[in-house]
Chain A
Amino acid sequence: MTGKAQYTQFHPRWYRPRVPVLWWLRRRSYLLFVLRELSSVFVAWFVVFLLLLVYAVAQGPQDYQRFLDWSAAPGIILLNAVALSFVVIHSVTWLFMLSPHAMAVRLRGRRLPAAAIGAGNLVAWVLVSAIVLFLVLG
């Protein structure tokens, strides 16, 4: 054989499937994921709402009353109702579905099962809620 063998690289025509625009409707878990990502917008809205409330309280009774009237408008109530449902999705998915799987807690050399961590989070949540309720109502 004379000279070096000439190789031509093989260029197959690969088929590259496109991701459909509605890919997140393909599976329940994808939909839940997209809703969870979206929920952060509503968490941010609640933070803004809380800051507006604190600001109004700091300004005095008149501003506070004006804030209450504004909050009672149907549009704001609707927005807050939607926000509440998203914040519930946010809390439930993070506290009970995701963080138990992300946390590797070891006790006496053995890894705690995810359900135990989820239960721990639930107990912590109930305790914090009870303290908040006590502060507000007590």
Chain B
Amino acid sequence: MADLITLRVTRYRPENDTEPTTQDYEIPLRKEWAVLDGLNHIKDHLDGTLSYRWSCRMGICGSCGMTVNGEPRLTCATFLEDCAPGPIRVEPLRNFPVIRDLVVEIGDFMRKLPQVKPWVIREEEASIDSEYLQTPAELDQYKQFSMCINCMLCYSACPVYALDKDFLGPAAIALAQRYNLDSRDQGSAERMDVLSAAEGIWSCTFVGECTTACPKGVDPAGAIQRYKFTAAMESLKAFLLPRGTR
């Protein structure tokens, strides 16, 4: 008989519950199983009513972010064995409204993301036959920030976002920096107003938990602090230099 481990899963059924409750499930403790495999086992064999999001099982899609034992984690990359002996607490991501069980509502981020224009902006498009060449060093400038998978672990870890929902947030700012630092992009001035607003970079107090939580090594906290420097220099330039030279 295989070893068992308990998953203590937060349930919230809006049609019945006024607030979340927990439910324990005994699942096999297998060496190769992540928490997500455990949830799939519950869904397939124990309780089909459990709701949660997942897709790729390999840390690419960013759907399966949940709070595991109090920490924001991708459940596909959090192994049961590492959480043994249990019970393993599986809760929805913090700082978001809960729709049902482990499913959270991330519309707030989806509305904020396009505000920073996360795409390459060109003043003039090159002809269709030409390419925008880039050296490895130029790629290296932004590559780290391009690894973001929008999993929302950084928003879940951020106490500033918890207290102030108007904060643009770590991933949106890191993704703006991904394009600002891209040698092919010419849109940094267009992103500046949103980024350097009070709800943008200046809300961040550099707790650093977003970087700790990030499963892809993006370092949003570093991106925000670096942009603070950029924004401060731009304000200084705007103040000191005549308009034509900026």
Residue of A nearest to B205 (CB): A37
Tell me which residues across on chain A come within 8 A of B171, comparing CB atoms. none
* Chain A neighbourhood of B137, CB < 8 A: 109
CA distance A33 to B219 in the complex (A): 17
Let me know if B162 is at the binding interface, CB within 8 A: yes
Q: Per-residue 0/1 for B193-215: is the Cβ within 8 Å of any A Cβ (1 yes, 0 no)?
A: 00000000000011111011000
Interface membership of B87, Cβ < 8 A:
no
What string of 1s and 0s marks CB contacts (under 8 Å) between B156-199 and chain A? 00010011000000000000000000000000000000000000
Indicate if the CB atoms of B222 and A17 lie closer than 8 Å: no
* A52 adjacent to chain B (CB < 8 Å): no
18 extra interface residue pairs, beta carbon distance < 8 Å, beyond A12-B14, A101-B225, A102-B225: A12-B99, A15-B14, A15-B17, A15-B98, A16-B98, A17-B98, A24-B159, A29-B209, A29-B212, A30-B159, A30-B209, A33-B205, A37-B205, A101-B208, A102-B206, A102-B221, A102-B226, A104-B222
The interface of chain A, by Cβ under 8 A from chain B, is: 12-17, 19, 23-24, 26-27, 29-30, 33, 37, 97-98, 101-102, 104, 109
A43 to chain B, nearest CB (A): 15
Given A13-B14, A15-B14, A15-B19, do A33 and B222 touch, yes or no (CB 8 Å)?
Answer: no
Contact yes or no, B226 A98, CB < 8 A? no
Contact of B159 among A13, A23, A101, A104 (CB under 8 A): A23
Evaluate contact between B208 and A98: CB separation under 8 angstroms. Answer: yes
In the complex, what residues of A have CB within 8 A of residue B94's CB? 17
Q: Which residues of the partner chain A approach B159 to less than 8 Å between Cβ atoms?
A: 23-24, 30, 33
A26 cross-chain contacts in B, Cβ below 8 A: 70
Which 7 pairs show the lowest CB-CB distances between chains A and B?
A: A102-B225, A14-B97, A13-B14, A15-B98, A33-B207, A16-B97, A19-B162
Interface size class of B (residues with CB under 8 A): 20 to 34
**Chain A residues, CB < 8 A from B70:** 26
Instruction: Verify if B155 is at the interface (C-beta below 8 Å from A).
Output: no
Q: Across the interface, which residues of B come within 8 angstroms of A19, CB to CB? A: 162-163
The closest CB in chain A to the CB of B135 belongs to A109
A29: chain B residues within 8 A (beta carbon): 207-209, 212
B100 CB–A CB distance under 8 Å: yes
**Which residue of chain B lies nearest to A37 when distances are taken between CB atoms in the complex?**
B205
Interface residues of B in 54-82 (CB under 8 A from A): 70
- Chain A residues with Cβ below 8 Å from B14 are 12-15
Chain A residues near B100: list those with CB within 8 A.
12
Q: Mark B219-238, 1 if CB is under 8 A from A, else 0.
A: 10110011011000000000
Complex CA distance for A109 and B138, rounded to whole angstroms: 10
In the bound complex, residues from chain B placing their C-beta under 8 Å from that of A37 are: 205
Tell whether, in the assembled complex, residue B97 and residue A15 are in contact, meaning their CB atoms are under 8 Å apart: yes
CA distance A23 to B209 in the complex (A): 14
- Chain B residues near A33: list those with CB within 8 A: 159, 205, 207-208
- Residue of chain B at shortest CB distance from A32: B207
Cβ–Cβ contact A14 & B99, under 8 A: yes
Within the complex, the shortest CB–CB distance from B158 to chain A, in Å, comes to: 10
Q: How far is the CA of A97 from the CA of B159 in the complex (A)?
A: 18
Report how far A87 CA is from B225 CA in the complex, Å: 22
In this complex, the member of A15, A23, A29 whose beta carbon has the largest number of chain B beta carbons within 10 angstroms is A15
- A residues within 8 A CB of B221? 101-102
Contacts A/B (CB < 8 Å), 5 sampled: A14-B14, A15-B97, A29-B212, A97-B208, A102-B221
Q: How far is the CA of A131 from the CA of B98 in the complex (A)?
A: 57
* Alpha-carbon distance between A15 and B98 when the two chains are bound, in angstroms: 5
CB-defined contacts of B19 to chain A, threshold 8 Å:
15
